[in-house]
Protein backbone atom coordinates (compact mmCIF):
# COMPACT_ATOMS: atom_id res chain seq x y z
CA UNK A 1 0.00 0.00 0.00
CA UNK A 2 2.84 2.43 0.68
CA UNK A 3 3.88 2.23 -2.99
CA UNK A 4 0.40 3.21 -4.26
CA UNK A 5 1.27 6.91 -4.75
CA UNK A 6 4.28 5.87 -6.82
CA UNK A 7 2.14 3.55 -8.96
CA UNK A 8 -0.17 6.50 -9.61
CA UNK A 9 2.90 8.48 -10.73
CA UNK A 10 3.79 5.59 -13.08
CA UNK A 11 0.32 5.78 -14.64
CA UNK A 12 0.70 9.57 -15.01
CA UNK A 13 4.04 9.06 -16.79
CA UNK A 14 6.07 10.81 -14.10
CA UNK A 15 7.82 7.60 -13.02
CA UNK A 16 8.69 4.20 -14.44
CA UNK A 17 8.30 0.84 -12.77
CA UNK A 18 12.06 0.39 -13.16
CA UNK A 19 14.53 3.21 -12.66
CA UNK A 20 16.60 4.89 -9.97
CA UNK A 21 14.62 5.35 -6.77
CA UNK A 22 13.78 9.01 -6.12
CA UNK A 23 15.95 10.68 -3.51
CA UNK A 24 15.11 13.32 -0.97
CA UNK A 25 16.02 16.97 -1.50
CA UNK A 26 18.40 16.89 1.48
CA UNK A 27 20.48 13.91 0.29
CA UNK A 28 23.17 16.16 -1.16
CA UNK A 29 25.88 13.51 -1.43
CA UNK A 30 23.58 11.22 -3.41
CA UNK A 31 22.33 14.08 -5.57
CA UNK A 32 25.87 15.11 -6.51
CA UNK A 33 26.95 11.52 -7.23
CA UNK A 34 23.89 10.99 -9.42
CA UNK A 35 24.43 14.29 -11.28
CA UNK A 36 27.97 13.23 -12.17
CA UNK A 37 26.68 9.93 -13.57
CA UNK A 38 23.69 11.25 -15.53
CA UNK A 39 21.21 9.37 -13.36
CA UNK A 40 18.74 12.27 -13.44
CA UNK A 41 18.49 11.95 -17.25
CA UNK A 42 16.01 9.07 -16.86
CA UNK A 43 12.68 8.76 -15.09
CA UNK A 44 12.83 7.66 -11.47
CA UNK A 45 11.44 4.22 -10.75
CA UNK A 46 9.70 2.12 -8.15
CA UNK A 47 12.47 -0.49 -8.22
CA UNK A 48 15.79 -1.11 -9.90
CA UNK A 49 19.11 -2.91 -9.95
CA UNK A 50 20.30 -1.41 -6.67
CA UNK A 51 17.14 -2.39 -4.81
CA UNK A 52 17.24 -6.04 -5.89
CA UNK A 53 20.91 -6.14 -4.83
CA UNK A 54 20.25 -4.72 -1.34
CA UNK A 55 21.94 -1.38 -2.00
CA UNK A 56 20.11 1.46 -0.32
CA UNK A 57 20.50 5.18 0.22
CA UNK A 58 22.80 4.69 3.20
CA UNK A 59 25.70 4.28 0.73
CA UNK A 60 25.15 7.19 -1.69
CA UNK A 61 28.24 6.75 -3.86
CA UNK A 62 27.67 3.01 -4.28
CA UNK A 63 23.98 3.58 -5.02
CA UNK A 64 24.79 6.14 -7.72
CA UNK A 65 27.28 3.71 -9.30
CA UNK A 66 24.68 0.95 -9.41
CA UNK A 67 22.06 3.36 -10.80
CA UNK A 68 24.48 4.27 -13.60
CA UNK A 69 25.19 0.59 -14.26
CA UNK A 70 21.45 -0.12 -14.49
CA UNK A 71 20.92 2.73 -16.95
CA UNK A 72 23.81 1.66 -19.17
CA UNK A 73 22.73 -1.99 -19.25
CA UNK A 74 18.96 -1.50 -19.44
CA UNK A 75 17.17 -3.83 -21.80
CA UNK A 76 13.65 -5.17 -22.02
CA UNK A 77 14.85 -8.40 -20.44
CA UNK A 78 16.52 -6.56 -17.52
CA UNK A 79 13.45 -4.34 -17.05
CA UNK A 80 11.18 -7.32 -16.48
CA UNK A 81 13.84 -9.21 -14.52
CA UNK A 82 14.01 -6.38 -11.95
CA UNK A 83 10.21 -6.33 -11.67
CA UNK A 84 10.07 -10.10 -11.13
CA UNK A 85 12.93 -10.02 -8.62
CA UNK A 86 11.16 -7.28 -6.69
CA UNK A 87 7.84 -9.15 -6.74
CA UNK A 88 9.45 -12.30 -5.30
CA UNK A 89 11.29 -10.34 -2.62
CA UNK A 90 14.86 -10.09 -3.92
CA UNK A 91 16.89 -7.41 -2.20
CA UNK A 92 15.90 -5.03 0.52
CA UNK A 93 15.43 -1.80 -1.38
CA UNK A 94 15.27 1.11 0.99
CA UNK A 95 14.32 -1.01 3.98
CA UNK A 96 15.61 0.33 7.29
CA UNK A 97 18.02 -2.13 8.83
CA UNK A 98 17.97 -2.70 12.58
pTM of the model: 0.83
**DSSP 3-state of 32:** helix
Q: What is the model's pLDDT at position 89?
A: 85
pLDDT digits (tens, 9 = 90+) for 20-38: 999 999 999 999 999 999 9
**Residues of the chain falling short of pLDDT 70:** 1, 91-98
CB 38 within 8 A of CB 62: no
70 class by beta-carbon count within 10 Å (0-12 exposed, 13-18 middle, 19+ buried): buried
Q: What is the model's pLDDT at position 1?
A: 61
Q: What is the model's pLDDT at position 96?
A: 40
**In angstroms, rounded to a whole number, what is the distance separating the alpha carbons of residues 13 and 55?**
25
Q: What is the model's pLDDT at position 4?
A: 83
Amino acid sequence: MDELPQLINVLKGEMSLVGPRPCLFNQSELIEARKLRGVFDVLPGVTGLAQVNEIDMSTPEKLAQWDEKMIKTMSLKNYFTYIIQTAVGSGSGDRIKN
